[in-house]
Amino acid sequence: MEKFKGNIWLLGDDIDTDIIIPTEYLALKTVEEMKEYAFSPLRPELSGNIETGDIIVAGKNFGCGSSREQAPEVLIALGIKCVIAKSFARIFFRNSINNGLLLIENEEFPDNCKEGTSVEVQLNKNIIYENKEYKIQPLPDNLMSIIKEGGLVESMKKRNKQVN
């Protein structure tokens, strides 16, 4: 079973894609250039403090707003390992899967954790925090395969090589 640990960055409800990456920075040429402006309307210091492997924990409706694919791409560029939230906006959820970003829904965990602490995730099984387990509803195998292969494009390339 796969498992990983990461430090928590805690956000609230209704974090929309304009908070994740504001519109004015979409004109930059690369996601690498955009990532320093992630969350700037809400927490300008956040993008500079996130380290590879960190985990965002949020409330309800994470990723609401416009359907821009740059939102999950920026999170990946920042090194975010996964986002744990009470719920996700539907289009953001699919854009994240398509870009290879793991999303985990759990109603209880966001209210019971603290920013700056560490959490362990046992993939498709549970979240372990301060010796308490929070169950995870497993993602279907086809979606996990897309995430593990780095997104839909990479997954399709691999699949097409197997067919040819």
CA distance 16 to 14: 6
Give me the mean pLDDT over the 136-157 stretch.
89
Which contiguous run of DSSP H or E holds residue 7? strand 3-10
Instruction: Give 13-53 pLDDT, tens digit per residue.
Output: 999 999 999 999 999 999 999 999 999 999 999 999 999 99
The three-class DSSP label of residue 25 is helix
pTM score of the predicted model: 0.93
More confident residue, 29 or 164: 29
CATH number of the domain bearing residue 112? 3.20.19.10
Place of tokens 């430090």: 7
Instruction: Give 72-86 pLDDT, tens digit per residue.
Output: 999 999 999 999 999
Q: Which residues pair with 104 in a beta bridge?
A: 84
Instruction: Give 86-114 pLDDT, tens digit per residue.
Output: 999 999 999 999 999 999 999 999 999 99
| Full domain range(s) for residue 94 | 3-163
Q: What Cα–Cα distance (Å) separates residue 66 from each residue in 42, 85, 101?
A: 17, 18, 18
pLDDT of residue 127: 98
How many domains does the structure of the chain reveal? 1
Mean pLDDT over the full length of the chain:
94
What's the one-letter identity of residue 114?
K
